[in-house]
A = this chain, B = another copy of it.
């Protein structure tokens, strides 16, 4: 928390109650937190904090590179505290919404192709890829009658 405060101060910004609450909320969950989750958790942590402050705080913390967001195909955007070695990408199951972190090394083949053939530099952490996890694939094979 002090680290975060220092980062903010370096930018001429301040550590405040709403910001503490947002950071606490993000830290409490392992990662992949939706705005909705943040709003709910923050208002539990400190009911005085207003929605608008949560939105503004997420924006400020993003600008300061303290938090990062990942767009999911469905289900909007999730936030998490940025780690120094943010070297994985996200893959999400389109059925159960499970998110899997994949080491960035795995993406290098793709990144290399994009760079070479398309002069395009991939930022693999920004958007989650979509697909089907094994469990949901099995469930679909069995048929939705199974439920």
Contacts and interface: CB of A to CB of B under 8 A. Distances in A.
**Which secondary structure characterizes the binding site on chain A?**
mixed
A35 to B, nearest CB: 15
Interface stretch (A9-17, A50-58, A114-122): A114-122
B132 A123 contact: yes
A72 B124 CA distance: 13
Interface string A27-57: 0000000000000000000000000000000
A117 B105 CA distance: 13
Given A73-B71, A128-B127, A102 B114 contact: yes
A74 interface: yes
B132 A94 contact: no
